[in-house]
Structures are given as structure tokens and as C-alpha cells.
Structure 1
Amino acid sequence: MAFETRAIHGGQEPDPETGAVMPPVYASPAFAQDSPGEHHGYEYSRTGNPTRTALEDNLTSVEGGSHGRTFASGMAAINTVLNLLEAGDHVVVGRDVYGDTHRLFTQVYEDYDLRFSFVDATDHDAVADAMGAHTELVWIETPTNPLMRVLDIESIAAIAHEYDALAAVDNTFATPALQRPLELGADVVAHSLTKYLGGHSDVVGSALVTDDPALDERLGFYQNSVGATLDPFACFLVLRGTKTLPVRMERHSENARKLASWLADHPAVESVHYSGLQSHSQHDLAGRQMDDFGGMVSVEFDASLPAVEQFVSNTETFTLSEGLSGVESLLEHPATMTHAAVPAEERRETGITDGLVRLSVGLEAVADLRDDLEQAIDRSLRR
């Protein structure tokens, strides 16, 4: 069955009681039992809920896995993966990761005697050199946030498996419409449902998908025990979003490609980070690994911090926000917003400079987006 068809129909059957085409929102926290311990598949909504089951089955289908779990936020899913580890374990992390992921690893889990090595995951030798006898997890994003680096999932998963470590991939930016890490050897895939899968900037949630039933059982234990599960109405909203994911990602990618090409030739722009450009160092890898290049673009300006802060404050069609991946275009300044929790020296070493701006390219007319960036550049960055 084609991806577009699975996005609409995966995990979704008409309601057997009413014939409703969309799965109902089952708001009930508890479910009646015929006798003690004998129920109809559900007992308590934290443990399982029919609307959540429909979403988890849908996400499992589009990601090409066999088991899926949903959570109350992106960080809850990442936290659940780390719940699998024990004191003394070691994690290898792609250096260019979301700021809150970095904060969770270094400011929360290092206090529980987990060790983290942040490496340039575009360098496979660096990944291999960081591995050791106590490495239990390799965590990467691709494309990365905010520098849009593309990492070779198949090669990194193979390195992880040489050490019997799990390979986890945050697939938020690409979505399963463009990239399916399980097909490339990953053990578990994470998504912020808040982003493209929800798609309308009106829900917060996340998911983990795997092909390994034993791993899913462990994830499910922590999902239920910790209780950071996604509420039924949020599940309903994401189910609405997945139906249009293929067509939205096609338009996001088209707009981003056009905008990145225009920015790459702009005199005020120092560099553009977008793997859809042939000048991007991982363009060929992205072409092999992804079906398209996505809607996220980062732009480097050779300008002072006050000028860049003025630029991101002067756009009109683009909204200044830490969010991303909705139908509307957003932009943000990583050094002072999403990655402010990363120490300044580490940010600079990673490549997150004061001149870096991240664009989440929406579905508006691309000419309007160009005009908006141009007027903001004229007001802020022209010398």
C-alpha cells in the first residue's frame, strides 16, 4: 500500500458502533469491565485509549514499523528512551542536536551517572572512536537542528550495532513522508508530533516507533509507569494532520527549495544550510536517503548580533517563534532562543553562530515569503 494511502487509512477503520469515518475522541479515563480483570481491551486511559491506539497504529504504518507509542511532548519521548539506560551507561550523541535534547542529557541525566559524548556525526570515524564497552545508545537527528546536517543513518546504525548499542533517530524534520530510518537500520525512531505530523501548530506530542517487540514492551512499560501519555483530543488532532502529511511535505519542500536557492544568491547572505542545494556538502547523501529535502532552512548572515535580532523581529509574514513545521512560516534565532541552554563556546564549536537564523518555510506563496525576507533585510542588514 502506498505511503499516501497509509497516511489516510493506516490504523483507522470506521467506528463499529456508529460508522463514524474518523475515530471518535474517547475522553473517558476508565472503561467498564465485565468482571474483575475482564475488559474489552481497555481499562484505564493512561494504560491504553482507543483514540491513542488509532494514532499509534497510524504512525507505525507510515513509519514502516510494527509498534508505536505516543507521549505528551517531544521531550517525554526522548526521556523514555533514556529510561532504558542504567547508571554507568554511555551515550554517543550527534553534536548538532536540539537545545532541549542537549539540556536533558547534560543537565538531568548526567546527574544520574549517565555519560554523553557529543561528536560530529558526519564523521563516521568520530562516531566509531567514541564508542566503548559501556555504550548502550547512539542518538542522532537528521537533518539536524538547526544546521540541517544530514547524517548517514545506515552507517551510524551499523557502528552502533557493532557494540550492541541501540541506534535512535529523531526523524522530526524529515518525517516518514521523506525518510524512514527503520528501513536504514535504526532501532527506534522519535518524532515530535508537535511539528510536521500534527502540522497545524495546535498540538503538543511525540511518538516512538520500532520494529522490535521486546524493545516496544520496555518502552510501553515506561510509557504507562511514568504516565506522560498523549491525551485523546491531541491524538485526534494528530490523526487529522497525518492525513495531509504527504501533500503538505511536498509543498513545504518545494517552497523551501525555491527560497533556499534565492537566499544562496543574496548579497546579504553568507551561507545557506539546506541539503536540497547542490552546494550542500551532504546533498548526494540526502538524495539517496530522503525522498525530498524538507521545509527547514538555516541562513547565516555576516552581521552583528543586534542587527540579526532586528532582522528576525522585522519580518511580517514570517512569525518570530521557537515553533516550526506548521502551515505558517516561522523563524527563530537559535543562539538566543532554541539553543540558548547550550554553552556559548559549545554552540560556536558546533557552528551555531550569532548570525544563524532558522527558517521554517510554510505553505504560503513563495513570492510573499521572498518579499518579506527582503524587506526585513533592507530594514536590518543592509550596510
Structure 2
Amino acid sequence: MYAFSNRVETLKPSAIRERMKFMSKPGAISFAQGNPSPETLPYEALKSISAYMFGSNPASFLQYGLTEGYTPLRLTLRERMQRRFSCGEDFDELIIVSGAQQGIELACKMFCNEGDAIVCENPSFIGSLNAFRSYNVQLLGVDVEPDGMNIEQLEETLKKHSNIKLLYTIPNFQNPTGVTMSLEKRKAVYELAKRYNVMILEDNPYGEVRFHGEDIPNIKSLDTEGIVIYVGSFSKVLSAGIRVGYVLAPLEVAQKMVVVKQSADVHTNLFAQVLAERFMNDYNFDGHIAELQKIYGRKCDLMLSCMEEGFGDRVSYNKPEGGLFIWCTLPGDIDPARFSTQCAAAGVTFIPGNMLAISPTDCTDAFRLNFSTPSDQQIVEGIGKISAVLKAL
């Protein structure tokens, strides 16, 4: 009946958002989401900051703000990016966006015409893939290995296609695989992007959520040529609901993104920006990060322990050093669709791998488990239910 535009005609709902609708069943356990743990949300601190804001100068955040973002927050983030991650050259600018998702979408809008191509890890974050699809770009998948992108495959892809505009990667605790790209591969990705004149879109929502191992420099820290657009977020370290993200990019890119953002939402929620800035400066932000790292490390170890006991060697899976997800692969003698259906019938859901792949025929034998959102009791019970289905099959 309705003639939608070519850009959105073939778009489908987010698999994760749709699955969330089916979790109203009493007693149902979801490993499908990627929300922060309620244990990590600083309720009292945010309540106190909010009361202070409304009691001091509410007009300062109830009016329109700058499209670039709240200046004190931008300065605080710029300083932290330099101090914590050694990111940000003199030619870079930092702006605030409405969640990292907006930064990713705006980058695609800025650089890609219809028919252009974007190189992505396969599988990858469904929100980014759908944003790219909305601009009718060609998605070129590169397999994810235990230490990150397959570099040989990446180079072949860059050689073969002349219309690649962006190289999208989640190098830290990749969603959905949980894989962390090695420093060697980060350097190789940067050199290839430089050689083939392709901008890198580095998505780092989980970088602060490392609970095992040592930090690896971000790709943006290698950027001496101005070819990396870095996207960060408060969603996993403060609150997903405030929808505050940020982009660190070469000045010309950041300035163009500001113009494009003006036509989207004028500016990011100013109250949420002030809230984030006050929390970073008035509270022990580093201590808060350390505490949530402990929580996620404990929850991940608990899920892995339950999987080791319940799955045995029937299912292969990674052991992430951070992030929110564990990527699992089924043995060849189990039908993935039947497995997923029977788990849902048993009262536990997760995201099948092909829903997170570039093509629905990819990653059909895999599934993603989230350990941040469920309680410890739900982790134990949920993995027990999956284990029972595995044994039955």
C-alpha cells in the first residue's frame, strides 16, 4: 500500500530488538541482550547530580545547546582520550553524538553514496550493519579470526573493489565474537587503509570493559595521517539510556559531521551530557570503571564455568578478556534452527549467529550469549537449560 523509499524498503527490524519482545514470558531467561548489568548503574550518584543540576541552574541544560556538544564534556573526554588511550592529534576534534550508533550512521551518510562499499568484520554489530544497509551500500565481509580480522582476506578485498569508502571494525572485544584484535593486526589494518585510501571507522564501546589481560593500543592511537574516525560511548560504562556517545575525528570530518547532525537532531540531549560530565569530574570515574570490570569479569567467569560443566566439548566457544559476549559454535550434527527453537521453548533465548552476519547463510552454526544483563542465578539456570537441550539433541 505504501511506497517506501528504496533506501528503507528492504530494511528489516533488528533481530535483537524483536527478540526482546518475546521475553515477557514468566521465568524466561534472556542471553540475547547486551545491556549493562544493573549492578553497574550508579543510581545514587546520578540521582544526586540530577538534584544538584535542577537546584542550581536548570536553564543551562533545558535550553538548546551546541551541536558539537557540551563544551566541558568535550574537554573532559578529549583529555581522557589522550591520557588513557594516547588518542587525539592536533588535527583531531571531539564532538558529542546521540549514542555511538549516531556517530556510525553519520559517518556512513557522509562518505558513502549509493552503491559504494564498506568493509566489515563478519559477523558484526547488527546496529551498524543495518545503518549501512539503509544507505544501499555494499557490505564486504572479512572473517574474524581469534586475533581479529583476516588480514590476507582484507587485503584481497581492498584490491578487488575500487569503491570502498569505509573500513568498519570493533577491535576490542568485538560484538558478537568477543575477539580482540592483536596489535600486529591493528597496525596492518591501518597500513592497508592508508595504502588503499580508505577511512577506518573504529567502534570502541567495550574498550573500558577489560577484566583480564593487558590493554592494546587503539587504532586511533596510530593515526598520524587523519584516516581514523573513532567512536566511543557511555552506554556500557555509565548508562545505555542516556544515549551519549562521542566521535574523535580529523577536524574537517568532525566539522562536516556537525553539519550533518544538525539536520538529524540539532544536538544531543543536553541534560544527559551535563550528567555525564558531572559524573566524570565529581566522582571517581576510574574507580567506577574498575568496579564494573570486576563485576563483568565475575559474571563472565561464572558463565564460562557453567558452560564448561554443562557443554563439555560439544560446543566450542571463546574466552573473552572483556566486553559482554561469548561466541559459541555448535557441532555439525546439531541442527541450529531446531536447537534455537528448543532452547526458546525451554525458556532461554540468545541470538543465532546468522542474524549478526552480513549474509543469513553465514555463521548458521553459531550463537551469541550475553553475560552482563542476566543475574548470576539466571546465568546458572539458563546455561543449565541450554545444556539440557544439547544433551537431548
TM-score of the superposed pair, with normalisation by structure 1: 0.65
Match of 2:252 in 1: 214
Instruction: Judge conservation of contact 2:178–2:318 (CA < 8 Å) in 1.
Output: yes
Paired AA for residue 258 in structure 2: G
Query: Could you tell me how far apart the structure 1 residues matched to 2:345 and 2:86 are?
Result: 40
Query: Using a 3 Å threshold, how does the CA distance of structure 1 residues 228 and 50 change in structure 2: closer, same or farther?
Result: same
Instruction: Judge conservation of contact 1:252–1:362 (CA < 8 Å) in 2.
Output: no
Query: Using a 3 Å threshold, how does the CA distance of structure 1 residues 230 and 48 change in structure 2: closer, same or farther?
Result: closer
Query: Could you tell me how far apart the structure 2 residues matched to 1:25 and 1:303 are?
Result: 58
1:101 CA displacement: 1.7
Map 1:1-383 to 2 at 5 A.
26-30=60-64, 44-50=65-71, 52-53=73-74, 56-57=77-78, 60-61=81-82, 62-66=84-88, 67-87=93-113, 89-106=116-133, 108-110=134-136, 114-120=137-143, 122-131=149-158, 132-142=161-171, 143-151=173-181, 152-175=185-208, 178-179=215-216, 180-185=218-223, 187-194=228-235, 196-198=236-238, 200-210=239-249, 212-227=250-265, 229-239=267-277, 240=279, 243=286, 244-267=288-311, 270-276=314-320, 292-301=321-330, 302=334, 305=337, 307-311=339-343, 332-334=350-352, 339=356, 346-349=359-362, 351-353=363-365, 356-361=367-372, 368=377, 371-377=380-386, 380-383=389-392
Q: Secondary structure at the match of 1:202?
A: coil
Q: Deviations for 1:172-220, whole angstroms, at most 9, x for unmatched residues? A: 23347655332244712223433x133x44333432223x333333333
Q: Deviations for 1:260-280, whole angstroms, at most 9, x for unmatched residues? A: 25414533673343344xxxx
Gaps of 5+ in 1: 1-14, 31-43, 277-291, 321-330
Query: Using a 3 Å threshold, how does the CA distance of structure 1 residues 347 and 55 change in structure 2: closer, same or farther?
Result: farther
Match of 2:6 in 1: none
Q: Secondary structure at the match of 1:293?
A: coil
1:166 CA displacement: 1.3
Paired AA for residue 111 in structure 2: L
Q: Deviations for 1:107-162, whole angstroms, at most 9, x for unmatched residues? A: x212xxx4432222522111111114433321112333222333332211111111
Q: Deviations for 1:321-359, whole angstroms, at most 9, x for unmatched residues? A: xxxxxxxxxx732459x64xx67xx2342x244x62421
State the Cα RMSD in Å.
3.9
% identical aligned pairs: 9
Q: Which has the higher contact order (CA 8 A, sep 6+)?
A: 2
Instruction: Judge conservation of contact 1:169–1:189 (CA < 8 Å) in 2.
Output: yes
Instruction: Judge conservation of contact 2:203–2:230 (CA < 8 Å) in 1.
Output: yes
Paired AA for residue 121 in structure 2: G
TM-score of the superposed pair, with normalisation by structure 2: 0.64
Paired AA for residue 175 in structure 2: N
Q: Hey, which of these two has a bigger chunk of helix by percent?
A: 2
Aligned residues: 308
Gaps of 5+ in 2: 1-48
Query: Using a 3 Å threshold, how does the CA distance of structure 1 residues 23 and 60 change in structure 2: closer, same or farther?
Result: farther
Q: Secondary structure at the match of 2:314?
A: strand
